[in-house]
Amino acid sequence: MSISPIFSSKMFHRFICHFRQALPTRTLSSTAPETSPVEPNKNVIIEPRQLKFLPKYKEPCQVWVENLDTIDENKLGIIELHPDIFAVNPRIDIIQQNAKWQKLYRYVSYAHTKSRFEVRGGGKKPWPQKGLGRARHGSIRSPLFKGGGVIHGPKSPNPHFYMLPYYVRVNGLTSMLSIKLAQDDLHVVNDIEIPSDEPQYIKELIKSRNWGPSVLIIDEVDMMPRNITAATDEIQHVNLMPVYGLNVYSMLKHDTLVLTRAAVDLIEDKLLTALHRNSTFSYTKKFVLNQV
């Protein structure tokens, strides 16, 4: 049975692009201290970007570029995001499939039961075949006896690995990125250089900007700057991740997603290449399983 979407793709795109402009300042609780509104720089520059495969009837979404070198928020400029990556109609069913797949593909069940041939004892016939008026049996380790083997029980190790189709995984990433942007939970920063390696600096920064409480910071490479690595090492709800590790489950788990400027370019390049690939056979062939 198919479920008709509440919004059409065009309506949802307009909603995402204009939602952030009309969104009021959020507070985590009613007792949170009042913060003065951040005044953006008057000389705001919209950074020109060459967006590949730009749709003819869709406009790019615009987001602020922020800083991390001060606790107070600073608007450094505006960049445009590709609508096919950050403003698609979200598919909740695809997100659920990705989350379930990520939970199961590493799971191995070690539940094990012994059959009648693995249970200790039962080598002798318990009583003669005929003459006693009892039912005929060949071993007391038959599944009919207490302490006998188990019929069709689980055997270990039993992996639950399977592979999702290629475009289900790709569309799961675009759906989650679009949802984060629509909910005002996606922020773009120029870099992740911070002046201190104290965890308190990150905590105060997150509190002053109403992020989180859990934050996922994405950078282009896996070698992060020393200060932010040391500052987030003791904070369990703030995690660092390179672009190649970005996944649906991690974005669902964290409330706020922070992308660097370089990470935005790389994410768009990889996903646009995947969406406009002519053939995925060479990329999916290695995951074909023999499940006969």
pLDDT tens column, 99-121: 999 999 889 999 999 999 999 98
Residue 170 predicted with pLDDT over 90 = yes
pTM of the model: 0.77
User: In the chain, what are the domains?
Assistant: 9-25+32-96+162-278 (3.40.1370.10), 109-159 (no CATH)
- pLDDT at position 152: 95
Q: What is the DSSP letter of 190?
A: S
Query: Percent of the chain, pLDDT > 70?
Result: 80
- CB burial readout 32-68, b (16+ within 10 A) else e: eeeeeeeeeeeeeeeeeeeeeeeeeebebbebbbbeb
Lowest mean pLDDT among 197-206, 265-274, 283-292: 283-292
Q: Please give the Cα distance from 256 to 213 (Å, whole number).
A: 8
Task: Calculate mean pLDDT across residues 117-126.
Answer: 91
- pLDDT at position 292: 42
Lowest mean pLDDT among 28-37, 136-145, 167-176, 237-246: 28-37
Q: Please give the Cα distance from 269 to 69 (Å, whole number).
A: 27
Higher-pLDDT residue of 41 and 266 is 266
The answer to whether 61 and 16 are in contact (CB under 8 A) is yes
Alpha-carbon distances, residue 120 vs 74, 110, 124, 213 (angstroms): 72, 21, 12, 55
Task: Calculate mean pLDDT across residues 37-57.
Answer: 72
Task: Spell out the alpha helix ranges (H) of the chain.
Answer: 9-22, 83-86, 92-104, 166-182, 199-208, 226-233, 248-253, 261-275, 281-284
The answer to whether 116 and 139 are in contact (CB under 8 A) is yes
| Residue 3 pLDDT level (bands cut at 50, 70, 90) | very low
Residue 192 predicted with pLDDT over 90 = yes
- Of 84, 83, 67, 85, the closest CA to residue 75 belongs to 67
Task: Give the pair of three-digit tokens for residue 85.
Answer: 């990556």
Task: Give the pair of three-digit tokens for residue 61.
Answer: 């979404």
Q: Which amino acid, one-letter code, is at 148?
A: G
Residue 84 predicted with pLDDT over 50 = yes
Report the chain's mean pLDDT, rounded to a whole number. 85
- pLDDT at position 1: 44
- pLDDT at position 87: 94
pLDDT tens digit sequence for 247-278: 999 999 999 999 999 999 999 999 999 999 88
Residue 217 predicted with pLDDT over 70 = yes
- CB burial readout 85-100, b (16+ within 10 A) else e: bbbbbbbeebbebbbe
